[in-house]
Amino acid sequence: MNYTQITPLEREEMLEAIGVAGVDELFSSIHPDDRLAGPLNLPPAASELELQNELNALAEENSGAHTHACFMGAGSYDHFIPTLIDQVVGRGEFLTAYTPYQAEASQGALQAFFEFQTQVAGLAALDVANASLYDGATAVAEAAMLAVNVNGRRRVLVASTVHPDSRAVLRTYFEELPVTVVEIPAGPDGIIDPEALAQAIDNDTACVIVQSPNFHGLIEDWNACFEAAHSIPKTLGIAVFNPIACGLLNRPGECGADVAVAEGQPLGTPLQFGGPYLGLFAAKNAFVRKMPGRLVGETVDTDGRRAFCLTLQTREQHIRREKATSNICTNQGLLALRATVFLNTLGPQGLAEMAEQSYHKAHYLATRIAEITGFALKYPDTRFFNEFVVTCPAPAAAIIEAAVHEGFLLGPPLDTPATGAQGSPNDLLICATEKRSRAELDSLVEFLAREYGLQTSD
């Protein structure tokens, strides 16, 4: 089934109208030597019924947050997703539209993105936001690129506590360009020492990138870090934030950030094995014309009626070509739509409660795990949000494997390539969101105590 609708009779009529004997004649510009002789070597067409069965079987082979209690975080979070989101985003008017170039035929998408931009700016406590980028990691790299373009400097300072994927993409982005990426190590408390950061900043520093909560869940001192950044005029402070945390914790703009970026997945997008997600990008007004990605602006029609359109397109590749601010020519439309529906469904109160509950549940869990003999919080004196590192009495990989059989998704281990290979084998990152019930938290503690604890104290 390939969803074509031309009947054999219509096909003959059309060929006659064109004036050719057969379809092959229309392919005459492909040299016979360049044509594929036989059929592609692919499995034969499957009917929809067969596909349903096959896909169900493939899906059922996997276990995940739908079958297990998920305690995994590390940049991808299992938050509550209101039913309304799929109902709205599944509407064909949104699902099957293109980038809203023709504004008069795309007011729905444009208004939704304008509302999205307003919300992202509100989360970040900054002036403006774009209509989204590919994901959190590329958003970090694009933010650094903006800084380099704004002040023409050649050094990018990034905290080593930023998500390893973001740092890896940052390295890839700048590898061919005359810009050096310098990683600032964390102190023994797991966060960046603002004084060490201040030492590293010089007159050629384009920006300072600090993520909070950081990759290990710890809350960085953005205020002090960005104050250090601003000790050199024109050096930008770039905050990497968690949008759920913004319902509760200090927001980037409240702490002196010039640009703020985030992985937007927690806002209503399922885990779905890491993608598609969306990058959030907010900035101070001063940087609007250097921002990457699509921007929706408010304007009026010829009657003076409020309307919306894509704007500042002269920054973009289809006009500026090699001088564009970025090669990006899409946003993550449906995911931005998911995020804005999510934020409107929860509202300010709901987002605050989601953040608070995540905070309280993670702290309850951390406290109880730390009470198990043999387990300890790796950074007991540092504040965290919804995830934390536990030093275990056994290799994390073994605990994770055993936990799956008990109905828990744990991990990741912190010594693997997927997590930047920064931890020791016994370090385990654990996350709790509002979705984890007390019963689930308690049974995880009970499992860890029973299998690995020497004895529990209560």
Partner 1 sequence: MKSTHADALTRPEIHTMGTDKDANVTTENIVTATPRGDRPVEPLVFEKSIPGQRAVTLPPLDVPETALPSEIVGGGFPGAEIGQLDLMRHYTHLAQRNFSVDGQFYPLGSCTMKYNPRINEWAASLPGFTGLHPLQAETETQGLLRLLFELRGFLEEIAGLDEVCLQPAAGAHGEYTALKVIRAFYHDHGQSQRNKVLAPDTAHGTNPASCAMCGANVITVPSASGYTDVDALKEVIDREGADTIAAFMITNPNTAGLFDSKITEIAGIMHEAGGMVYLDGANMNAILGKARPGDFGVDAMHYNTHKTFSTPHGCGGPGSGPIAVTTKLAPYLPVPQVEYDDVRSMFSLNYNRPKSIGKVRSFFGQIGVLIRCWAYIRSCGPDGLRDVAEMSVLNANYLASQLHARYETPYFEPGKGKWCAHEFITVPKSLLAHGVTLLDIAKRLIDYGIHPPTMHWPVHDCLMVEPTETESKRTLDTFIDAMSRIADEIESHDDAMHDAPADAPVRRLDEVAASRKPRLTFTDSQ
Output the six-digit token pair for 353: 């409660």
What 8-state DSSP symbol labels residue 154? -
Question: Using CA atoms, how far apart are residues 353 and 79, in angstroms rounded to an integer?
Answer: 12
What 8-state DSSP symbol labels residue 205? E
Residues 419-448 that bind partner 1 (CB under 8 A): 419, 434, 437-438, 441
Q: Contacting partner 1 (CB under 8 A), which of 242, 261, 262, 418? A: 418
Q: Contacting partner 1 (CB under 8 A), which of 231, 276, 373, 451? A: 276
Single-letter code of the amino acid located at 17: A
Residues 91-110 that bind partner 1 (CB under 8 A): 91-100, 102-109
Q: Contacting partner 1 (CB under 8 A), which of 258, 263, 387, 427? A: 263
Q: Contacting partner 1 (CB under 8 A), which of 6, 8, 188, 458? A: 6
Kindly report whether the peptide bond that precedes residue 39 is cis, defined as omega within 30 degrees of 0: no
Nearer to partner 1, 300 or 455 (CB): 300
Q: Contacting partner 1 (CB under 8 A), which of 203, 231, 367, 373? A: 367
Residues 347-366 that bind partner 1 (CB under 8 A): 347-354, 356-357, 359-361, 363-364, 366
Q: Report in angstroms how near the CB of residue 97 gets to partner 1 at its nearest.
A: 4
Residues 50-69 that bind partner 1 (CB under 8 A): 51-52, 54-67
Stretch that binds partner 1, among 12-20, 151-159, 188-196, 447-455 (CB under 8 A): 12-20
Q: Report in angstroms how near the CB of residue 232 gets to partner 1 at its nearest.
A: 26
Which of 412, 368, 409, 363 lies closest to 388 in space, CA to CA?
Answer: 363
Output the six-digit token pair for 161: 């506590």
Question: Using CA atoms, how far apart are residues 262 and 283, in angstroms rounded to an integer?
Answer: 12
Stretch that binds partner 1, among 119-127, 147-155, 225-233, 443-451 (CB under 8 A): 119-127
Residues 298-317 that bind partner 1 (CB under 8 A): 298-303, 305-307, 309, 311-314, 316-317
Which of 160, 308, 147, 361 lies closest to 234 in space, CA to CA?
Answer: 147
CB atoms within 10 A of CB 338: 24
Which of 428, 109, 136 lies closest to 277 in space, CA to CA?
Answer: 136
Encoded one letter per residue, x for contact with partner 1 by CB under 8 A and - for no contact, window 125-164 reads x-xxx-xx-xxxxx------------------------x-
Q: Contacting partner 1 (CB under 8 A), which of 88, 146, 390, 430? A: 88
Question: Using CA atoms, how far apart are residues 228 and 195, in angstroms rounded to an integer?
Answer: 8
Residues 184-203 that bind partner 1 (CB under 8 A): none
Q: Which residue in the block uniquely carries the two structure tokens 């913004």?
A: 246
Which of 329, 332, 315, 316 lies closest to 279 in space, CA to CA?
Answer: 332
Q: Report in angstroms how near the CB of residue 233 gets to partner 1 at its nearest.
A: 26
Q: Contacting partner 1 (CB under 8 A), which of 53, 90, 195, 373? A: 90
Nearer to partner 1, 270 or 374 (CB): 270
Encoded one letter per residue, x for contact with partner 1 by CB under 8 A and - for no contact, window 379-408 reads -x--xx---------------xx--x----
Do the bridges between strand 306-310 and strand 279-283 make them parallel or antiparallel, or are there none, so unpaired? unpaired
Q: Report in angstroms how near the CB of residue 16 gets to partner 1 at its nearest.
A: 10
Radius of gyration, CA atoms only, the chain: 25
Q: Report in angstroms how near the CB of residue 243 gets to partner 1 at its nearest.
A: 9
Cα–Cα–Cα angle for 106, 111, 113, nearest 5°?
100
| Alpha-carbon distance values, 450 to 34, 372, 436, 453, 455 (Å) | 66, 9, 20, 6, 8
Q: Contacting partner 1 (CB under 8 A), which of 344, 422, 424, 456? A: 344
Nearer to partner 1, 200 or 311 (CB): 311
| Contact status: 409 vs partner 1 (CB under 8 A) | yes
Output the six-digit token pair for 372: 């198990």
Question: Using CA atoms, how far apart are residues 453 and 448, in angstroms rounded to an integer?
Answer: 6
Phi, psi of 194 (to 5 degrees): -55, -30
